[in-house]
């Protein structure tokens, strides 16, 4: 499993479970769920992540593995 933060795009990606990717479902609040063919959530992508969190959670995001641009 892998978690990364893309500072330029302000996107936090959290891989929950390995599995064959089937499709993504975008929720109204800027959260995208990656779904496997058997209906399991395999990942969560949070758009505008730095705007959604504060305090300790924001520090975790800022210290997450940053993608090389």
Each residue's pLDDT, cut to its tens digit, for the chain (69 residues) gives 788 888 899 999 999 998 788 999 999 889 999 999 999 999 999 999 888 876 666 666 666 655 544
Closest by CA to 29, choosing from 14, 44, 9, is 44
User: What distance lies between CA 51 and its chain's CA centroid?
Assistant: 14
In whole angstroms, give the CA distance from residue 20 to residue 42. 9
- For every residue of 43-65, DSSP letters joined together read EEEEETHHHH--HHHHHHHHHSP
pLDDT at 64: 65
């Amino acid at each position: 499993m892998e978690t990364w933060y893309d500072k330029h795009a302000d996107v936090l990606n959290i891989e929950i479970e390995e599995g064959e990717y089937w499709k993504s479902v975008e929720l109204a609040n800027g959260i995208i769920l990656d779904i496997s063919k058997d209906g399991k959530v395999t990942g969560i992508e949070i758009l505008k992540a730095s705007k959604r969190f504060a305090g300790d959670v924001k520090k975790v995001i800022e210290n997450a593995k940053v993608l090389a641009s």
